[in-house]
Structure 1
Amino acid sequence: MKRFFRSAGYRWFLLACAYVVVAAAVMNGFYTKWRLNDGRPALGLSLMVEGTAHRPYVYRQFVPALANGIQALLPQATVARLSERLSEPRRVDSRSGLAMRYPGSEALVPAVTLRYHLVYYLTFLALLAALFVMRRLCLKAGADAAASTAAPAILALMLPFFLTEGGYFYDFVELMFMMSAALLALGASRQTPVRLLLLVSLAGLATWNKEAFFFFTAALYPLLRRNFSRVQAAGLVAVLLFVCGSVYLALRMRYALNPGSTVDYQLWDNLRYYLDPGNWLRTESTYGVLLPRGFGIVSVLAVVGIAINGWPRLPQALRRHAQLALAINVPLFVLFCSPGEMRNLSMLYPSLLCLLALALAKWLAPQTEVRPDSGLEVR
């Protein structure tokens, strides 16, 4: 019995339990704050799964397409029976339903309810998978096991704070894809063709989830350079860009007649917002508590401190990746993102994760000091 509880399998079981709890807490923090944009005329979940949402939201079709596909595989009678049960009005006050004391929830609409629940739980699974991917990425970055285990949980718990001015199910799927892409690129080489094929396939799926991945692929170049020449790494990035561009073009053609626009120009709104000191001190309810917003002086101080402590330990390839991701993401953020939407700095998530893991490794390491009078080390 002791051997079982000391085994690696049991430790993985405990890790899985811990990450399930973290993912569930994060999903609850997100869902109670934004739900699945129920009832919003431009991007409600019912519009997303039907493909009638406004552009650019309608382009984010990966999870809705999965939900539609799963429902299509089920017999009509099964769909009808499940939809009837899931849309019962009593579920407004039930702890087993997603309406959660919200009578206007689209989870209660019979035509949508099954796909609503599928989207929710597919998002949860993507977040859970992202935690394990992030742990592996931290280990590749050089952090120890303890820091590599804690950093993904901490970053995930921070996500609802970053979902300011908007929060969407595809943000969590994007996290999984970006972390997976960074991990695959770090280990890719001519001796790992399967890894390269997975990276190319992932690029297409990630763009289907959110078109911003097209720009993130360029930031993978420094990671690919670890095991490839300049020409080979640039060629791989070109292939990734081609795949992403092809998927995005197909989405634009498919939804060309939907209302809305591809992008909104936000430069002047952003300048006015960030130059107003009051916006750096605003609060909002996250996890049911009134706390500082994701964009503000508190988050800036936290990120700067993490970067200062983690940067000296960050491997060169990841440093260059962070610099390139910053150079790509910040101009896009200022030009096209709504003011204060920290979630749109998502290209920096892998860098923030690695910096956090390395900073934690530094802070958790035994500190040694020498007493001047004795010369003895004190731990």
Structure 2
Amino acid sequence: MASRIESITKKYMVFFLILAVSAASYCGFFSIWAFRDGASSMGFTAMIEGTAARPYVYRQLLPHVVKSVSEAIPQPARDKLELKLSKGKYIEARYSQAKIPQQYIIEYYLLYTFCFFAFFASIWVLRSLLYELVKDKVAGTLGAMLFALIFPFFEVLGGYYYDIFEFLFMFMAARFALHGSWGKLLILVPIATFNKESFLFFLITLYPLIRNKVEIKKAVMITLGTVVFAGLTYLYVRQLYAGNPGGMVEWWLGEHIKGLVSIDSYFYTTSIYGLPLGEGMFLPHIICIYLIVKKAWHHLTPFWKEHVKIAALINGILYFMFAHPNELRNLSLLYVSFMILTAFFIRDILHETK
């Protein structure tokens, strides 16, 4: 009986710690940009109404979901809920960035809630993935919690709600590929692509994991099948909003070159948790990343090393060509591999201190 109580207590403590860290991180993320309220090109109202500029308007999974849920609520209940939320100002009272349009107040609160639960769920999925690979619960838990804490820093120059679902789907896809769950991966493809088209490129990075489970020919067919499915999903969504302003991409290579030779770009700071901490390509952070990769690289199996190399190649090209300088959220294809390396690094440090 005593051992069972101890086990339940440990599980509750882990649950509470991850919940608290997720809540703190989500608040940090939301306090920077909210849902880009008021922005005509990618703001909440524009996304809900489908008038946002391309390519932002393509990320329609969550707007469609919250509208569908809201419309399913009976009108009398909707009226009561709208009145309660309007009077309560539960979000507006806590975040100065939140400018909630009254005609979409239910949709706004639904989006806020769904994003938090997705964030919370993603940390558990990542913890499970890290534990499976590093074979150390403490290192896996600390690695997942660390990702939660540093995520807001990735979003400093441009935070978007669909980024949360993006890494949730990436963590899930990595697990599906690792376990050979092809049916689940195929189901995930259109959903994740409807959330953000970058998922198509992440699917390419999964080839080494798929190849580890099946023969080369079948691995190629599975990878190509998922990529084609994602591509068709993207093309369908794109034609729906072909008349919206904007374009497919923006070119930033010139600005990246300027940033690389500018000393100032390596020492930018931001305040998310009440302290001035580094953002973007902050030099101390670059040094930490180098040390983590150097110390943990040898722990990766050959197929994970191939995954990292493919992700780095694709993401490097996309980042320097099409992403705003120092906007680390656009290095999302490397989230999985970096957190695996970090978990191995944490495990080694813990073992060295014993």
Report the TM-score when normalising by structure 1.
Answer: 0.90
- Answering whether residue 191 of structure 2 is matched by residue 197 of structure 1, we say no
* Counterpart in the other structure of 1:84: 83
Say whether the 8 Å CA contact 1:164–1:340 is kept in structure 2.
no
For residue 156 of structure 1, what is the amino acid of its counterpart?
Answer: A
Say whether the 8 Å CA contact 1:283–1:293 is kept in structure 2.
yes
For residue 11 of structure 1, what is the amino acid of its counterpart?
Answer: K
Distance (Å, rounded) in 2 between the aligned partners of 1:105 and 1:286:
16
Distance (Å, rounded) in 1 between the aligned partners of 2:218 and 2:195:
27
* Counterpart in the other structure of 1:339: 325
* Counterpart in the other structure of 1:11: 10
SS in 2 for 1:37: coil
- Answering whether residue 86 of structure 2 is matched by residue 100 of structure 1, we say no
Alignment of 1:78-157 (within 5 A): 78-88=77-87, 91=89, 96-100=90-94, 102=96, 105-107=98-100, 109-157=101-149
* Counterpart in the other structure of 1:173: 165
SS in 2 for 1:111: helix
Measured after TM superposition, the shift of residue 10 of structure 1 is: 4.5
Distance (Å, rounded) in 1 between the aligned partners of 2:232 and 2:302:
32
Alignment of 1:349-364 (within 5 A): 349-364=335-350
Say whether the 8 Å CA contact 1:86–1:97 is kept in structure 2.
no
Distance (Å, rounded) in 2 between the aligned partners of 1:149 and 1:240:
30
Measured after TM superposition, the shift of residue 346 of structure 1 is: 0.3
- Answering whether residue 2 of structure 2 is matched by residue 2 of structure 1, we say yes
After superposition, give the CA deviation of every residue in 1:216-272 in whole Å (9 maximum; x if it has no partner). Answer: 110000001111111111100111111101110111011111111111111112211
For residue 77 of structure 1, what is the amino acid of its counterpart?
Answer: P
Alignment of 1:177-256 (within 5 A): 177-188=169-180, 195-256=181-242
For residue 345 of structure 2, what is the amino acid of its counterpart?
Answer: A
Once the two structures are overlaid, the 10-residue window that deviates more, 136-145 or 122-131, is 136-145
SS in 2 for 1:72: helix
Distance (Å, rounded) in 1 between the aligned partners of 2:337 and 2:92:
34
Measured after TM superposition, the shift of residue 174 of structure 1 is: 0.6
Choose which of 253, 260, 279 in structure 2 pairs with 1:293: 279
Measured after TM superposition, the shift of residue 133 of structure 1 is: 0.8
Give the share of equivalent positions with the same residue, in percent.
32
Measured after TM superposition, the shift of residue 366 of structure 1 is: 4.3
Unaligned runs of 5+ in 2: none
After superposition, give the CA deviation of every residue in 1:180-222 in whole Å (9 maximum; x if it has no partner). Answer: 111110110xxxxxx2111011111111111011111100000
Say whether the 8 Å CA contact 2:85–2:105 is kept in structure 1.
yes
* Counterpart in the other structure of 1:72: 71
Distance (Å, rounded) in 2 between the aligned partners of 1:295 and 1:112:
37
In 2 relative to 1, CA 46–123 (structure 1 residues): closer, same or farther, beyond 3 Å? same
* Counterpart in the other structure of 1:48: 47
SS in 2 for 1:175: helix
Once the two structures are overlaid, the 10-residue window that deviates more, 205-214 or 132-141, is 132-141
In 2 relative to 1, CA 323–308 (structure 1 residues): closer, same or farther, beyond 3 Å? same
Distance (Å, rounded) in 1 between the aligned partners of 2:153 and 2:135:
25
Alignment of 1:277-316 (within 5 A): 277-316=263-302
Measured after TM superposition, the shift of residue 2 of structure 1 is: 2.2
Say whether the 8 Å CA contact 2:268–2:280 is kept in structure 1.
no
Backbone CA RMSD of aligned residues: 1.6
* Counterpart in the other structure of 2:57: 58
Measured after TM superposition, the shift of residue 77 of structure 1 is: 2.0
Unaligned runs of 5+ in 1: 189-194, 368-378
* Counterpart in the other structure of 1:376: none
Measured after TM superposition, the shift of residue 101 of structure 1 is: 5.5
For residue 86 of structure 1, what is the amino acid of its counterpart?
Answer: L
For residue 280 of structure 1, what is the amino acid of its counterpart?
Answer: Y
* Counterpart in the other structure of 2:305: 319
For residue 39 of structure 1, what is the amino acid of its counterpart?
Answer: G
SS in 2 for 1:106: coil
Distance (Å, rounded) in 2 between the aligned partners of 1:366 and 1:345:
31
Distance (Å, rounded) in 1 between the aligned partners of 2:83 and 2:257:
49
After superposition, give the CA deviation of every residue in 1:309-357 in whole Å (9 maximum; x if it has no partner). Answer: 2111112211110111001100000000111111100000000110011
How many residues are treated as equivalent by the alignment? 354
Say whether the 8 Å CA contact 1:151–1:357 is kept in structure 2.
yes
- Answering whether residue 326 of structure 2 is matched by residue 348 of structure 1, we say no
For residue 99 of structure 2, what is the amino acid of its counterpart?
Answer: E
After superposition, give the CA deviation of every residue in 1:37-75 in whole Å (9 maximum; x if it has no partner). Answer: 111111111111121111111111111111111101111
